[in-house]
Amino acid sequence: MTTVLIIIAVVLVIAVVLSLTVGKQAKAKRQGGLRSEAREHREEGQIRSARADTKEAEAEERAARARQEEAKAEEQAALAAREREAADERHARADEVDPDLDARDETTEDRRRNR
């Protein structure tokens, strides 16, 4: 009977050891899978981050070009306004000194109002 108890105890110890070993292997396999999944997520995150950085840089570049174009347009508008004013002054002066301009003729001021 003692031999049977010893055999049962040895079998139980072996079963516990095997169970612990299998459990550790399963846990290690599970953790390996989780590590692999985490690595994939990190890689995908890095790729998406790089894409976002590129798109952000492109958007900033477009915005800078738009600001530059707007500044050029404002500069051209200011230059055109100065040119228009200078032209109007020259026409007005021509109207003042023109001996052939009679009161019935359209003056520069009249043309300016009709624009």
Q: What is the pLDDT of residue 115?
A: 58
- pLDDT means per 10 residues in the chain (115 residues)? 88 90 92 95 98 98 98 97 95 87 62 59
Say what the pLDDT of residue 100 is: 81
> How far is CA 59 from each of CA 45, 50, 51, 79, rounded to the nearest angstrom?
21, 14, 12, 30
Which pLDDT score, from 0 to 100, does residue 95 have? 86
Q: Residue 72 to residues 9, 32, 63, 75, 92: CA-CA distances in angstroms? A: 93, 60, 14, 5, 30
The model carries a pTM of 0.52
Say what the pLDDT of residue 41 is: 97
* pLDDT attached to residue 1: 83
How distant, in Å, are the alpha carbons of 52, 60, 66, 76 from that of 63?
Answer: 16, 5, 5, 20
Rounded Cα distance between 85 and 103, Å, is: 23
Structure tokens at 72: 């050029």
